[in-house]
Homo-oligomer: A and B are copies of this chain.
């Protein structure tokens, strides 16, 4: 699979900019799975089956698997997605960043071991810490630019003296000299729509992974308006907790609740998409 081609196909075929984040918190798994040896995999598998036709990508967050020694379940989950929902890109959210020789090992982990189609990468260590991922043909490399968390601005928003912010410098490099292969993308949080618009203005139609709607409070209308490309695409709008745990506390089937939440979120996103999108494709 070529990540960028698969993403563009999924945007159109599934009429969706929604990315579902797979962050299986052991403390929040449904009671029906309690005590099962592969509860993390089973939970994610049911979420995936319930939402795959509604998403442009899945994004497993590796920390949730690593903290509970469930690397084997993460491997099984990504393999399951590739087999059962072929064509759905999988982004490994790992935010790796290290010197070249070590980055090569992390790339091996993400692309050979887990068979992810894309990985998130932290750019703080510069070009030679990013290049090893880009040497994997057809894999996406999604660099942190302006993150959605409260402290995201501590460094990312610092002014470089010429009016340019640090996150803008990241965006400029990632869409310029670093992007010879065309496989770069960026992470820009939904919680800062002005900065999302600024990044969109800098990077052309580069795909943006946008966390921060749902539990983190980002506004869907502002996000779509600020981040979409002229053809109403360009975004992977991530929701994790608001979909995974939509059924929490109501006693119903968690996968059904997740599907309803994904349908609602996709519809809310599509309602806001540009006029260039056919009305037939909305909702």
Contact = CB atoms under 8 A, between A and B. Distances in A.
A231 B277 CA distance: 68
Number of copies: 2
Nearest to A107: B67
Contacts of A211: 99
Given A98-B95, A147-B99, A160-B161, A64 B105 contact: yes
Given A66-B105, A123-B124, A166 B158 contact: yes
A67 B160 CA distance: 37
Contacts of A232: none
A150 B99 CA distance: 9
A252 interface: no
Given A71-B71, A149-B126, A158 B160 contact: yes
A128 interface: yes
B169 A152 contact: no
A125 interface: yes
Nearest to A108: B67
Per DSSP, chain A at the interface is helix
A23 interface: yes
Contact of A63 (B63, B102, B123, B151): B102
A219 interface: no
Contact of A113 (B67, B126, B150, B159): B67
A129 B105 contact: no
Interface string A43-74: 00000000000000000010110110101000
A170 B211 CA distance: 25
Contacts of A96: 63, 95
A101 to B, nearest CB: 8
A270 B174 CA distance: 43
Contact of A127 (B66, B71, B98, B154): B154
A271 interface: no
Contact of A149 (B128, B161, B173): B128
A187 B114 CA distance: 29
B122 A151 contact: no
A97 B125 contact: no
Nearest to A212: B99
B63 A98 contact: yes
A114 to B, nearest CB: 10
16 contacts: A63-B102, A63-B105, A67-B106, A67-B113, A71-B71, A97-B97, A122-B122, A122-B125, A125-B149, A125-B151, A125-B152, A126-B151, A128-B149, A154-B173, A158-B160, A158-B169
Given A67-B108, A67-B113, A155-B166, 6 more contacts: A63-B106, A66-B106, A67-B112, A95-B96, A125-B152, A126-B149
